[in-house]
């Protein structure tokens, strides 16, 4: 799809992978709505994009509430009048054994990584249907890209909540894909391995071997810029030179 002039909503866009996706889309002439809970981050990023000539909107929203997700989409409609691209990127991780996991942590992970994706997608679909313009020539102007994880197909110790959420996201994505593909919307899941962001850490790990946010945005752009005939439905990205497993 030609990206210039399109409209995107990116969740978790105040830092990390979501921020990188928002910047890249804005660079290509996409109007971007940046959503997250931390107002300073979302606002600073929207201002940075606007200051170099992009069209950006900041939306403070906790996706764990359906009504908040609904209001977020209404804000996009009011400001931009449509929606072509939904990037479901917001996510959290809480890591503990099942025996030791606090139910509040389980809830935080499942409610953000699964319920939140459902709430914002359900809210966005009517606006996306209006904007998608289904046609064999263009392939349709709608895309939903969910940021999953390789943890959605491989379990690990302490990973039960996170793996369950990302495993569930694959089922959600594939079902949704079949529901909306004849309406001009292509649905995809990107499944990265370890990426060097602040996810679940206090600062960047600075691990040489980890993927960068750039690696993930490249994959997302590949999905969005595919030809009218192509639907890249799943991408797995793993570090090329991880440390050996013991
Ligand atoms: N980093 C990795 O190694 C890695 C690997 C595979 C997959 N992923 C996935 O990639 C995605 C982005 O992760 P990242 O590494 O960029 O992490 P990050 O730097 O921690 O960013 C996560 C984003 O999600 C937002 N968020 C969290 N809970 C939210 C909520 N309830 N409502 C709205 N926004 C919320 C955060 O903003 P606020 O806190 O301000 O709300 C933040 O902007 C996640 O889905 C993660 O599971 C990451």
In a domain, 69, yes or no: yes
Domain count within the chain: 1
Ligand 1 atom at minimum distance from 62 CA: 32
In a domain, 70, yes or no: yes
Indicate if 162 belongs to the active site.
yes
Q: How far is the CA of 91 from the centre of ligand 1 (A)?
A: 4
- Ligand 1 in contact with 197 (CB < 6 A)? yes
Return the structure tokens found at 162. 């996170």
In a domain, 226, yes or no: yes
Q: Which residues pair with 188 in a beta bridge?
A: 145
Nearest CA owner, ligand 1 atom 2: 195
Of the residues 199, 219, 242, which should be mutated to test ligand 1's pocket, given the most ligand atoms within 8 Å of the CB? Answer: 199
pTM for this structure? 0.97
In terms of residue numbers, what domain contains 216? 7-237
* pLDDT, tens digit (0-9, with 9 covering 90-100), for 131-159: 998 887 787 899 999 999 999 999 999 99
Q: Residue 81's domain is classified under what CATH number?
A: 3.40.50.720
* pLDDT, tens digit (0-9, with 9 covering 90-100), for 49-64: 999 999 999 999 999 9
Q: How far is the CA of 89 from the centre of ligand 1 (A)?
A: 6
At 204 the pLDDT is: 52
10-residue mean pLDDT profile of the chain (246 residues): values are 97 98 98 98 98 98 98 98 98 98 98 98 98 83 97 97 98 98 96 90 68 97 96 97 80
Of the residues 69, 72, 90, which should be mutated to test ligand 1's pocket, given the most ligand atoms within 8 Å of the CB? Answer: 90
In a domain, 130, yes or no: yes
CA 229 – CA 232 distance, rounded (Å): 10
In a domain, 233, yes or no: yes
In a domain, 246, yes or no: no
In a domain, 178, yes or no: yes
At 246 the pLDDT is: 63
In a domain, 87, yes or no: yes
């Amino acid at each position: 799809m030609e990206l210039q002039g399109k409209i995107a909503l990116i969740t978790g866009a105040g830092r990390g992978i979501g921020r990188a996706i928002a910047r890249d889309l804005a660079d290509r002439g996409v109007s971007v709505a940046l959503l997250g809970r931390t107002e300073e981050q979302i606002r600073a990023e929207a201002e940075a994009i606007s200051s170099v000539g992009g069209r950006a909107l900041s939306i403070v929203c906790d996706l764990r509430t359906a009504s908040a997700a609904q209001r977020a989409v209404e804000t996009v409609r009011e400001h931009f009048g449509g929606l072509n691209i939904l990037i479901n990127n917001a996510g959290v991780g809480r890591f503990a054994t099942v025996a030791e996991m606090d139910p509040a942590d389980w809830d935080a992970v499942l409610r953000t990584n699964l319920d939140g994706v459902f709430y914002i997608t359900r809210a966005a679909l009517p606006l996306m249907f209006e904007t998608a313009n289904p046609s064999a020539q263009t392939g349709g102007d709608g895309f939903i890209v969910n940021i999953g994880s390789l943890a959605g197909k491989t379990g690990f110790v302490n990973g039960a909540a996170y793996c369950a959420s990302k495993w569930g996201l694959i089922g959600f994505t594939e079902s949704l894909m079949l529901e909306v593909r004849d309406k001009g919307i292509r649905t995809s899941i990107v499944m990265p391995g370890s990426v060097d962001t602040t996810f679940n850490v206090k600062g960047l790990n600075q691990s040489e071997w980890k993927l960068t946010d750039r690696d993930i945005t490249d994959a997302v752009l590949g999905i969005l810029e595919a030809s009218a005939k192509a639907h890249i439905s799943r991408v797995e990205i793993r570090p090329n030179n991880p440390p050996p497993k013991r």
